[in-house]
């Protein structure tokens, strides 16, 4: 089944206009361009992407009830060894905490916190700490579908139609941009010439590649946009990978001119998560 990389994340208009985050003065003195001794008092607002966080809740697999995570301290008793090491480490049950700390003078105590899960209603309504084992906890979205987090991407798969013209790369909202090069590790024996050839090919075709990318365990993913960049001043070539948080969303309240009816270009492609654990992007 071919990956549908051209399926868009649904755009949701912001309920509130974007606020100005900077105000200042633009001073120009470029006579050759017809811009001499000019000042502009401006304000600026940040442009966001259309990618939204994935919303989900943790539930008990058996009862279906919602659970909450809490960092709970655990106490451990131990004896000090001849070199200062901890010997005979054992957990102190909660019901024995007071007696152990107060009366066992030969035993020292240290604390360690761990993430544990409890039924939300029991804890927040009645104050009862009903614990749920981590293996019994799953993540569920509003529609009731159980979801699994993504693993770190180590193989980037670019589908047959997963590319976009270079001139439209600027429509992506990049969080970070990375420089790619051949891996010098002897185990893989990648050739620098092959990577240069790839960058040159993309440059000749004036295209960028689009793929799914995850930095690690979780539900947030990026669209990796792999594209060449040749600096005009000296001809140096780079192969870049931009981590896109979606397509730029320009707030219409900041538009300088009124809407002019025109045939719009189709949106640039973003990576979907076909063949990955199913996740619905939150609205």
Residue 76, phi-psi category: left (phi > 0), alpha (psi -120 to 50), beta (remainder):
beta
51 plus 177 within the same structural domain: yes
Query: How many domains are contained in the chain?
Result: 2
Asked if residue 112 is part of any domain, the answer here is yes
Asked if residue 280 is part of any domain, the answer here is yes
Assign 60 to helix, strand or coil. Answer: strand
149 plus 276 within the same structural domain: yes
155 plus 232 within the same structural domain: yes
147 plus 77 within the same structural domain: no
CA distance 131 to 111: 20
**268: CB partners within 8 A, 6+ apart:** 164, 168, 171, 172, 247
Which residue, 109, 140, 171, sits at the end of a domain?
140
Asked if residue 135 is part of any domain, the answer here is yes
50 plus 159 within the same structural domain: yes
CA 211 to mean position of chain CA atoms: 14
Q: How many residues does the chain have?
A: 283
268 plus 164 within the same structural domain: yes
Which residue, 140, 175, 201, sits at the end of a domain?
140
Asked if residues 134 and 117 have their Cβ atoms less than 8 Å apart, the reply is yes
CA distances from 231 to 141, 226, 235, 239, 283 (A): 46, 16, 5, 11, 39
204 plus 240 within the same structural domain: yes
132 plus 61 within the same structural domain: yes
CA distance 18 to 248: 13
Asked if residues 41 and 25 have their Cβ atoms less than 8 Å apart, the reply is yes
CA distance 226 to 156: 10
pLDDT of residue 7: 39
Which residue, 140, 172, 200, sits at the end of a domain?
140
pLDDT of residue 90: 86
Assign 252 to helix, strand or coil. Answer: helix
**168: CB partners within 8 A, 6+ apart:** 265, 268
Backbone angles phi, psi at 146, to 5 degrees: -80, 135
Residues with pLDDT less than 50, the chain: 1-13, 103, 275-283
pLDDT of residue 241: 95
Asked if residue 30 is part of any domain, the answer here is no
Structure token digits, residue 63: 């009862």
Asked if residue 85 is part of any domain, the answer here is yes
63 plus 104 within the same structural domain: yes
pLDDT of residue 145: 81
Asked if residues 136 and 61 have their Cβ atoms less than 8 Å apart, the reply is yes
277 plus 162 within the same structural domain: yes
Asked if residue 266 is part of any domain, the answer here is yes
Other CB atoms within 10 Å distance of the CB of residue 186: 6
- Residue 168 lies in domain: 1-18+43-56+143-283
pLDDT in tens, 105-152: 667 888 888 888 899 998 888 888 888 898 888 888 887 788 888 889
Asked if residue 24 is part of any domain, the answer here is no
pTM over 0.85: no
270 plus 150 within the same structural domain: yes
pLDDT of residue 141: 85
Asked if residue 35 is part of any domain, the answer here is no
Structure token digits, residue 282: 């939150």
108 plus 209 within the same structural domain: no
pLDDT of residue 27: 92
């Amino acid at each position: 089944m071919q990956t549908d990389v051209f399926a868009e994340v649904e755009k949701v208009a912001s309920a509130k206009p974007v606020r100005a985050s900077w105000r200042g003065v633009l001073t120009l003195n470029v006579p050759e361009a017809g811009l001499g001794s000019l000042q502009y008092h401006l304000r600026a607002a940040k442009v966001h992407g259309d990618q939204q966080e994935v919303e989900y809740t943790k539930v008990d697999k058996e009862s279906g009830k919602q659970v909450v995570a809490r960092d709970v301290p655990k106490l451990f008793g131990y004896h000090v060894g001849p070199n200062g090491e901890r010997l005979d480490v054992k957990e102190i049950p909660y019901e024995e905490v007071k007696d152990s700390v107060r009366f066992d003078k030969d035993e020292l105590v240290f604390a360690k916190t761990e993430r544990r899960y409890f039924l939300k209603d029991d804890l927040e309504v009645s104050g009862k700490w009903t614990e749920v084992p981590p293996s019994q906890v799953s993540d569920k979205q509003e529609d009731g579908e159980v979801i699994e987090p993504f693993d770190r991407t180590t193989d980037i798969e670019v589908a047959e139609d997963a590319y976009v013209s270079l001139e439209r790369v600027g429509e992506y909202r990049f969080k970070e941009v990375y420089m790619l090069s051949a891996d010098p590790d002897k185990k893989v024996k990648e050739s620098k010439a092959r990577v240069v050839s790839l960058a040159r090919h993309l440059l000749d075709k004036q295209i960028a590649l689009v793929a799914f990318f995850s930095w690690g365990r979780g539900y947030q993913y990026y669209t990796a946009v792999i594209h060449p960049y040749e600096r005009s001043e000296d001809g140096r070539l780079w192969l870049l990978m931009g981590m896109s948080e979606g397509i730029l969303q320009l707030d219409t309240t900041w538009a300088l001119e009124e809407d002019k009816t025109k045939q719009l270009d189709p949106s640039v492609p973003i990576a979907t998560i076909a063949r990955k654990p199913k996740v619905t992007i939150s609205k």
